[in-house]
Amino acid sequence: MSETKVKHADEIFKSFKTQSVSEFFKKNAAMLGYTGKLRSLTTLVHEGVTNSLDACEEARFFPDISVYISEVGPEHYRVIMEDNASGIPLDYIPHVFGKMLAGSKAHRNIQSRGQQGIGVSGAVMYSQVTTGKSTEVVTSTGDKVINKVNIKIDVEKNTGEILSHETLKNPDKWRGTRINLEAKNLQYNRSKYGPYSYLKMTAIANPHTRILFVEPDGTKILFDRNVRSIPKHPKEMKPHPHGTSADDILSMIKNSSATRVRTFLVSEFTRVSAKKVEEIEQLSKLDLDINPKKVDWEYAENLVNAIKQISFMAPPTEGLIPIGAESVKLGLEGILAPEFVHTVTRSPQTYHGGIAFIVEAGIAYGGGAGNNGLDIIRYANRTPLIFDQGGCCITEAAKSVEWKRYGVKDDNAPLTIFVNLVSTHIPYTSAGKQAIANEEEIYNEIRFALMEAGRSLSRYLSGKRRAHEKLTKKKTLLRYVVETSNAIGNLIKSEDKSKIINALTDIVEKKYDFEESNGGEEEVTAALEENGEEEVSENGD
C-alpha cells in the first residue's frame, strides 16, 4: 500500500499569483454583458454610445452620434462609433480605453450613465480577445492636430498599450472621438435585443440627441433631435450621513484635510450642521475633537450608530437632473407616434436612508406603441436597459400594477410603459448594468408614478369608448331616418319626404354634436369618480 505524499505549504503556494482586474473580466466577460452573439454586439454599441453621451453633455454640446456596423465575415463585425464631444487628450487615451476601473465618474458622487469605469475598456478587451486585433481611436480636442492611435490592453498589468501613434493635421478644427473595432462571435438582427432597438430607446430618453445608424446592409436610420435644449449638468453631491458605513468613514478620512472629526463631518457630508454634530457627540459619547487620522474601526462604528439615531434633512436634489415630463413626452411622440401619451416626473426620494433618486414614467398608447403588446422600456440615468428584464425592479413594479383597472384589458394592448430611474448611484444587480435591484423605496415610487399615468390613460380610454358608443348610436339612428321619414310622410300625407329626412338628420346631428362639445351627465360623473380615486390611489392601487 503506497503512502500519500504530504505537500509542504511552500510547495502549494508556488502556484499562487495575483490577478488583475482586466484578467478577471477577460475570464468573466459575461459579467460585463458579453454573453450571447446578439447581446455582445448590443453591449459594444451601448458602451461606446454611453461614453459619447456623457462626454457631450459634460462639455455642453448637443450630441451628434454616428454608429456604423458592417459585416466582415461570418459572425464577425466591425463597429465604428463617432461623436462630437470634447475629444480625449493623448496622455489619457491609454487610461480611457485600456485600463479598467479608471475614469472621471466612479470616484464622484454625481449622476452619470457610466459609474464603474469599466465600459469602453471592456469593449476594447472583448474585441482583442475575439479577434486578436487592436482598437483604432481617432480623437481631437479641436486644436491643430488629430491623434490616431491603435491600442491594446495589457491584461496582466491592467494598462493600455499604444501600438502606433500618428499625428494628423486638423485644418477644419474637427472635435470628437471615433472608435473603430472588430469583434467575432456576434450576430446582427432587428429584434428587441439588438443595436437598432437599443438606439431607438436611447433616442426616446435623450431627445436632445441626434443619432445616425447605418446597418450592415447599408440601411441608414436617423433618430433626429426633438428637443433644442441640453440637459442641465448635474452637480457633484456630498454623501448623506444616513447612507454611510464605518468603512465609508475610514475611507473618506484618508482623503480629508480636516484636523478634527467635528470639522470632517461638517465639511465632507451634506445636511450635517454644527448643531447636528452636537447631537452626534451627545449620543455617541465620542471625542469629536480628535484628529480624524486617529479614528479606528470601533470609533467609526460608534459614530455611524449615533448618526443612524438622528434625523437629517433629505439630500439636496441639485445633483439629480431628470429628463423632464415634457421632454419624455416629446421623445415618445417623436419615435412611437402614439395616439395618447402621458408622462410623470415624481418628487425626489431617498433609498438606503440617504441616496437620492427620482422616478420618471410615461405611458404611450396606440400608434407605434406596444406593437407586440404591452412593452416595458426601462432606463437608468437615460440609458436603456435591454437585457435581464425579468430580474429588474422596474419590471416587477410595472407588472404589479392592476392595469385592467385603468382600461388595459390584456397583455396584447398597444401599450408602451416607460420608466427612467435617476440617481447618483443606481443599485444594479451586476456589473453588466442591465437590471436594477429591488429596493423597496424605488419599487413603490415606480408603482405610484405608473398609477398616476394610468389614471390619465383610464380617462382617455373611457372617453374614447364613450365616443365610440355615441358614434354607433348616431349611425344607428341615421340608418333609420329614411324609413322613419317615409312613415311620417305617409301619416301626414306629404309627398315631399326630403324635408322630413333633412329635419330628422339635422336633429340627430345636433344632438350628438352638442353632447360631444359639452359632455353629458355620464362624463361629469366619470370625472368625479376618477378624481376620488386619485386622492386615495397611493394608499392602495
Matching residue, cell 407616434: 337
Matching residue, cell 473603430: 180
- Round to whole Å and give the CA distance between 29 and 50: 19
- Round to whole Å and give the CA distance between 321 and 344: 14
Question: How far are the Cα atoms of 253, 275, 290, 483 from residue 310, in angstroms, in the given order?
Answer: 21, 11, 22, 81
HSE toward the beta carbon, residue 449, CA cutoff 13 A: 28
* Cα-Cα end-to-end distance for the chain: 74
The verdict on whether residue 114 carries a ligand-binding annotation is: yes
- Using left for φ > 0, alpha for ψ between -120 and 50, and beta otherwise, residue 363 falls in beta
The verdict on whether residue 48 carries a ligand-binding annotation is: no
Largest CA distance in the chain: 127
Q: Of 335, 363, 345, 319, which is closest to residue 421 (Cα–Cα)?
A: 345
Q: Of 343, 346, 320, which is closest to residue 331 (Cα–Cα)?
A: 343
- Residue 22, amino acid: S
The verdict on whether residue 390 carries a ligand-binding annotation is: no
Q: Of 124, 29, 147, which is closest to residue 431 (Cα–Cα)?
A: 29
Identify the three-state secondary structure at position 23.
Answer: helix
Q: Of 523, 541, 521, which is closest to residue 533 (Cα–Cα)?
A: 541
| Residues paired with 146 in a beta bridge | 168
The verdict on whether residue 172 carries a ligand-binding annotation is: no
Pairing of strands 210-214, 64-73: parallel
The verdict on whether residue 494 carries a ligand-binding annotation is: no
- Residue 146, amino acid: I
- Round to whole Å and give the CA distance between 235 and 257: 22
The verdict on whether residue 129 carries a ligand-binding annotation is: no
The verdict on whether residue 51 carries a ligand-binding annotation is: yes
Q: Of 364, 292, 293, which is closest to residue 330 (Cα–Cα)?
A: 364
The verdict on whether residue 248 carries a ligand-binding annotation is: no
Q: Of 51, 45, 37, 50, which is closest to residue 67 (Cα–Cα)?
A: 45
Question: How far are the Cα atoms of 132, 421, 461, 526, 527 from residue 536, in angstroms, in the given order?
Answer: 61, 24, 21, 16, 15
The verdict on whether residue 117 carries a ligand-binding annotation is: yes
Q: 260 with 293: CB under 8 angstroms?
A: no
Q: Which residues contact 409 (CB under 8 A, 6 or more apart)?
A: none
Please enumerate, by residue number, every residue annotated as part of a binding site.
Answer: 51, 83, 104-105, 114-121, 433
Please enumerate, by residue number, every residue annotated as part of a binding site for ATP.
Answer: 51, 83, 104-105, 114-121, 433
